[in-house]
């Protein structure tokens, strides 16, 4: 998997563009800037956007090539972020460290995704926010019809609203929706797709 992402990010062109995901761009400014964790941040378009808004950004991804491009983009935009190369299974952060987590197209292996969501939850402070957008199970139809739209072809790596509700059950749901959208993100997210969008606020322990 690491090799696949290194090959994708090795090209000079940014695979998903340099501008942030539109849902992330819409929602992140609604919250007071603090510390944000950006899993699977790839070439850094979303982490750099967060840094531009004054967030203290910690990004990570499997790909050294992604890290190189993200730090390049950060220099272009005159911001800084911490970018770690590693697998979430092995990475560890301090509990209750972050004010927000941005999960933008973070499609984890099918047999790990719920456990990794639970692990990420431990890093978020009570009252912290998750901003989530990823392909829904219905997206399988779209990617089979038009591979340019991108996304996993394994339905078990795709998401449902029920899975998100189960994985983030200790959250106040601000928004949870399955939507058909038109993607225009670089050359690997082009066309019509189906996504799950979730904004959740972590509840304080009882």
Q: What is the DSSP string of 116-154?
A: HHHHHHHTEEEEEEEEEEEEBTTHHHHHHH-GGG---S-
Q: What is the mean pLDDT of each run of 10 residues along the chain (206 residues)?
A: 91 95 98 98 98 98 97 98 96 97 96 97 98 98 93 96 97 98 96 98 90
The pTM score is 0.97
The whole-number pLDDT of residue 1 equals 80
- What is the Rg, in whole angstroms, of the alpha carbon atoms belonging to the chain? 16
Domains with residue ranges and CATH for the chain: 2-202 (3.40.50.150)
Position 184 scores a pLDDT of 96
Task: Give residue 206's pLDDT.
Answer: 74
Let me know the angle formed at the C-alpha of 88 by 150 and 15, rounded to the nearest 5 degrees: 30
The Cα 119–Cα 139 span in angstroms is: 26
């Amino acid at each position: 998997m690491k090799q696949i992402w290194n090959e994708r990010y090795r090209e000079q062109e940014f695979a998903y563009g340099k501008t942030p995901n539109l849902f992330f761009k819409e929602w992140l400014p609604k919250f007071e800037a603090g510390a944000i964790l950006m899993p699977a941040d790839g070439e850094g378009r979303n982490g750099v956007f967060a840094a531009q808004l004054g967030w203290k950004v910690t990004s990570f991804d499997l790909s050294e090539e992604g890290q190189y491009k993200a730090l390049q983009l950060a220099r272009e935009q005159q911001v800084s972020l911490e970018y770690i190369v590693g697998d979430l299974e092995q990475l560890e952060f301090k509990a209750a460290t972050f004010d927000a987590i941005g999960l933008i197209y973070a499609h984890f292996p099918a047999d790990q995704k719920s456990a990794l969501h639970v692990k990420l939850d431990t890093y978020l402070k009570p009252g912290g926010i998750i901003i989530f957008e990823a392909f829904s199970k219905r997206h399988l139809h779209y990617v089979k019809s038009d591979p340019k739209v991108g996304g996993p072809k394994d339905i078990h790596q795709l998401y449902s609203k029920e899975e998100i509700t189960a994985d983030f059950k200790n959250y106040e749901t601000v928004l949870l929706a399955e939507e058909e959208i038109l993607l225009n993100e670089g050359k690997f997210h082009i066309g019509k797709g189906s996504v799950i969008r979730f904004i959740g606020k972590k509840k304080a322990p009882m």
